[in-house]
Each structure stands twice: as C-alpha cells, then as structure tokens.
Structure 1
Amino acid sequence: MPESKPLVISAPEPRSLDLIFTSEKLAQLRDRYEIVETSAAQVAQLDDTMLAHARYILGQPPLSSRTLTQLSSLRAVLNVESNLLDNMPYDEVFRRGIHVLTTGAAFALPVAEIGLGFALDLLRGITPADTRFADVTEQWGGDGNAQAKLLTGADVGIIGFGDLGRALTRVLAGFRCNTQVHDPWIAPSILRDHQVMPATLETVLGQSDVVFVVAAVTTDNRGFLGAEAFAQMRKGAAFILLSRADVVDFDAMLDAVAAGHIVAATDVFPQEPLPADHRARTLPGLLRSAHRAGALDVAFKQMGDMVLEDMDLMDRNLPPMRCKRAERETAARMRSRPVDKN
C-alpha cells in the first residue's frame, strides 16, 4: 500500500475527532496524516496491508497478539478515553517498543476545580442554605452556620497523587491547608517536593476535615474504602469522590452520610445513569454531580493538542512528552471502567 503520509487508524470511542480537535487542529491532522476512520471493534478487521502501514492508533481498541503482529509499523496507541483499558497484552506491546499514551491529564484541572467547589459547598453548607429558601425555612446570619467550617487552614487529606492529586494541591494552595497524602505508588520524597506530607491511609482518614479521593481503580484497591474507613473519619468531615466509584464501597459511604457521621460529594456512581429510585438521589448530606467534573470543551480540545504534539515528536524519532506514558509495571493493573458518554 503506497503512502505519501503516515497512516493513522482513528477509533477514539467514545470521543470523536470533532470533539477533541478544533477545526484548525483537525485540518492539521488531516494534512499531515492519512486518516482511516473506523470503530474500535473493526480495527482488527482492517486490511492486512493497512494494518502493516499504521504508525499510530488514535483510541484504545482491543488488540490481540495476532493483530499486534500485523501492526508492524505501529509506534503508539494514543488513548483519548483517559482510562487505560484492560484490552491488550501490555507485556507484548512494551516488548515491541510501542508507546501506550493517555491524555487523561487534560481532565486534571477541571476536576480539581470542581473538587474545590464541592469542598467549599460541603464545609459552608451552600446548597442546603439555598434550598431552604424554597420552603421558607432559611436560617439567617449565624443561625445558618452551626456546622460551617473554613477551608483555610483546614486539615486536608488526598488519596492518590497522580495528575489530579497534583492539580488539587495547586488549586488549594491559597487556602494554606495542612495537606497529607496517601499514595503507595509514589515515593515520599516526591510528595514532599509538592509541599504535601506523606501519610498512611489511616492518618489521612482520621486526621482530615476534608478527604479527596482521586485514586484510579486497580486490581489492588477495588472497594478498599468501606465501612471501617468511613468510621475512622472525623465526625462532620467531608468526603469528596472524584475518580471512580469502584474505589469505595458506595453503600457504606451512603450509610455514613445517612448516619450523619460525614457529609460527602461525588461526581461518579457505581451505575451511570443512576437508577431513578436510588437512595443517593435524595439523601441529605450528599452533594451529587452527574460525572461532569472534567467534561469541558477546553479539556477535550487540549487532548487533541497533546496528541498532535506527541505525534510530531515521535515522527522525529523523539520520545512523547505531552501525554502520560503507560508504565510496564502498572498498566495491566488498571481496572477503571471505560466511559460511554463524553
């Protein structure tokens, strides 16, 4: 198959090229590369010659060992879903020198900002104070602040310290919080370099006014925050879930909120959309967001910029630097469920 331009297989589900590229950047993509658009399920069915000439895959479709053998020119899989998927033999991918890259960092700042909003809302009772006006039960002045707390100077705990955890520390910087972080995959000196203190999970849970959960789901931590974890938290503390619902025992979290032990906010749920009769919909003390924390157009378009920049570097036989590279030791341990809606 003669080619005048490098070939890119495009299967960015659930994204689309129009979503992740501005019109200008999409024109650049099409000008520099030959784009073959298909579905993730159909990638392995493409013509053998086409597979042999593909330099990049945009998306993370299922790839078997046989298909990898056919993809003899492949340099990188560019995941624009944000979660590394358990749908390829990573050991073989790495052995072949193929990069697996994710643009998930584009979501870090938008999610961190809404996390800050959740924290202020929970600590100051903003949403409950607003809804009281509807039934004329609002409490004026100090009467409405019986449970209110300042975020400034508060004890904050962060569970997980990837791109999102680091973005959180930046947006919290002006509040001069006492921040402790638990992440067993991060060296303590790196945490200190980010002006946070390494801590055990028990310390983060038991000594924080606000706990942010930003850990990815892995084979090691599914449901690791359960009833015992919530019981360790300070009474009245705020628990903010920003990563994936599978890292918590969701019913145990709701039980802790229902008992009045904690207040909580979540952008993610064990089933999305949430069933109409799910108790989380009406539970007092729970602030709800429909998995929308990172879904801003500016974040989607940043993904396209990251992809173009890294493809340009790799075209010049340089390592990719904008996207996050999957690591040989941890890629196959990721277990976040794929998103099915932008």
Structure 2
Amino acid sequence: MPHVLAAGDLFVTPSLFIDAIKARTGPEAEVSFSELTLPWPIEPFGPVGSVNEASGDPTALIGALAGAEVAVTQMAPFTAEVFESSPDLRLISVCRGGPVNVDLDAATRAGVIVSFAPGRNAVAAAEFAVGLMLTAMRRVVIADADLKKGTWRGDYYTYDNAGSELDGATVGLIGYGAIGRIVARILRAFGSTVVTFDPYASAEAIAADGVELVELEDLLRRSSVVSLHARLTAETHHLLNAENLSLLPVGAVLVNSARGDLLDYAPLPELLSSGRLGALALDVYDVEPPSADWPLFAAPNVVLSPHLAGATKQTAERAANIVADDIAAYLRGDRPRYVANPDVWNVLSERFGS
C-alpha cells in the first residue's frame, strides 16, 4: 500500500492535499496518508540547509517521512540530509512554480522524482500586480492613511499632484511567463500599451498577444510603469539596479511582486526622493520581513504588502489539485506532468516497465 505524507502548512493545508488526492484516486484506492503541518506563513520562509524558501525542521520532516513513498508539500525543506534518511521515498510533489525548497541534485542521486505546479498562483499574482499599479499611481494607501488621521488630501486633486491612468500608458513587463501574460491581457483591457523583456519568450507568440518584445534598456526608457514578473536565477539577480533604473522616465512607477532579489533595493530611496521614481509598490523584499530601520519605510510614495500576491483560496485549491493530478498519475504508473528531474522518471519507468 503506497503511503503519502501530506506536509502542508497554514495556507495549503494537509487536508487540501489529501482531499484532492482522494478525489483522483477514488475510494477503492489502497493509499494511506499521514500529515505534517508547517508554520508558514505565520513564520516567514527562508533558507534551510541547502534549500531556499523553506519552512520547518528537516529532523521533524525525516521523522514524518518514515515509510512514505510519496510526499506532497509547498514549503517542507527537502535537503540532502532528508533524502539520505528517507530510503522509501520515490516522489515529491511541490505545489509551487518551481521546487526551490528541494535539493534537486540530492533528489536525483537518491532516485526521487520531483514534480511541481507551474501556474498555480498566476491569476492571483497577476491581479495583485495590477492592483499594486493602480494603488501606487493613484496614491490610495497614502490618502487612506491620511484620511484616517483626519487629513483631507485635497492637494492630490491639483494638477501637479494628480495621479495618472493606465489607459494610454506604456507598461513594461519584465518576464512574460504565465503571470506576465495574464497581466498583459488585463492591461490591454485597460487600454495600456504593453512591452516586455523576456529573453526566453517567443516574439511571434508575444506579438499575437498584442505585446511588443523589446530589450531591457528600451523597456525602461519607454515605460511609465514597470512591473517585475521574472524568475529569480543567477542571471536575473539584481536585474534592475542603480545603473539601468536611471533610464526610467521621471516619475515612473515601479512594481515588484515577483522576487525581492530581482531588484537592487539600495538605490530606491534616492530614486524616490529625486523624483526619478514617482511611486514604488512592493510585495517582496531582499530580506523578508524587512528590518525595523529599513530606509523605504520612511520613503515617500511607497506601497508595501507582506508577500501576499498569491494569497487567494483559489491559489491554494489550484495548487493542491495540480500536484494531486501528478500523484494520481504516478500511482497509476504514468509519468507526472511536471517533472523537474525527468532522468529519474526515465530510469524508474524502465525498471518497473511503465
């Protein structure tokens, strides 16, 4: 009887995983389950051993994995130590756009398939990014805080201080994956001209969406609003920095709801005080949470949220459903749809004649 560990958290709970898997395997399936609940998001994720953006203790995870052939999680820290101590494990399904909390090399050495869930939060993150744009461009957060303190900001209706519209604006999207593409669709409905920088995207496919593919410098020069939607890699670390941010038109709005280290945060206070940046909206940070003396807390025209872009009930349900499909496929002897280390699947399928 296959045993599945549902290592959930307070967002994608163990019960969401288990119910989704049972719905796909049916009541007659001989599958047993155990649960582990991790402290995220009440406690922030972070590096754990050899992995990033993880939550929980590897020792506790090792104990929970005893006898498990399959594990499903969002945040559990699957380090090299975990693989060395879990000989029965054959599949990990991670309900995220990439399995950053899994030591993929160690998984491959151990013969463990790793699957993941691209696009699970694309709609939520895209809607949130557009919401940040509007909030920053129209000073919603600042006006709300002032009004609650008894200050009526009539000066925001003066010409010099009035906000701007998305209709007719050129918006630059850095990254044109699942999230960027939805953002582009929403913006075009607003009447925006959308340009994007993505070295891995197809110019023909982007053109079919009514979006123009451009170089990064061109995007920064042309865009009154810039929004980040790229994956964080060694190549994209500090993709936006003091040098290229100086190319922005005066008063531009910058939004980052992707990953903190895509953006060099050090030059942002000066860019805001000089007016090069008219407003800044952030959902992610180079250190999460930021320290109490973080300079941007005191900077003008800044909108901040605590890494909430993907936080919808639909995201949690969608994430559980995507990985449940892959687990059900594996239990039938079929290849999971989204596999990060396909060589392991090839070896196992040959061994078992799948």
Deviations 1:251-300 (A, max 9, x none): 21232123221111000122222222222223211111111121222211
Partner of residue 295, structure 2:
279
Structure 2: 5+ residue runs without aligned partners?
37-55, 344-354
Partner of residue 116, structure 1:
130
Report if the CA contact (8 A) 2:5-2:33 is conserved.
yes
Cα distance in 2 for partners of 1:167, 1:327 equals 28
Q: 1:166 to 1:327 in 2, by over 3 A?
A: farther
Cα displacement (A) at 1:242:
0.7
Which aligned pairs between 1:1-342 and structure 2 lie closer than 5 A? 3=1, 6-12=2-8, 17-18=13-14, 20-21=16-17, 24-25=19-20, 28=23, 32=29, 33-37=31-35, 41-42=58-59, 43-44=61-62, 50=67, 54=69, 56-59=70-73, 61-64=77-80, 67=83, 71=87, 74=90, 76-85=91-100, 87-90=102-105, 93=108, 99-103=113-117, 105-133=119-147, 134-139=149-154, 142-143=157-158, 146-262=161-277, 263-321=279-337, 324-326=338-340
Cα distance in 2 for partners of 1:271, 1:66 equals 26
Alignment partner of 2:205: what SS?
helix
Question: 228-237 or 147-156: which moved more?
Answer: 147-156
Q: 1:125 to 1:283 in 2, by over 3 A?
A: same
Report if the CA contact (8 A) 2:93-2:326 is conserved.
no
> TM-score, structure 1 length as denominator?
0.78
Percent identity over paired residues: 21
Cα distance in 2 for partners of 1:61, 1:290 equals 22
In the alignment, residue 263 of structure 2 is paired with which amino acid?
Answer: V
Deviations 1:312-337 (A, max 9, x none): 2333344434xx543779xxxxxxxx
Partner of residue 336, structure 1:
none
Cα distance in 2 for partners of 1:216, 1:276 equals 27
In the alignment, residue 258 of structure 2 is paired with which amino acid?
Answer: S
> TM-score, structure 2 length as denominator?
0.76
Report if the CA contact (8 A) 1:90-1:328 is conserved.
no
Deviations 1:111-170 (A, max 9, x none): 211211111122223333444433535217842674422201211111112221122123
Deviations 1:223-263 (A, max 9, x none): 22111121111111110001111111112123212322111
Q: 1:297 to 1:70 in 2, by over 3 A?
A: closer
Cα distance in 2 for partners of 1:86, 1:111 equals 20
Give aligned pairs, total.
316
Q: CA RMSD in A?
A: 3.4
Cα distance in 2 for partners of 1:137, 1:87 equals 50
In the alignment, residue 58 of structure 2 is paired with which amino acid?
Answer: A
Q: 1:223 to 1:196 in 2, by over 3 A?
A: same
Cα distance in 2 for partners of 1:18, 1:86 equals 17
Alignment partner of 1:11: what SS?
strand
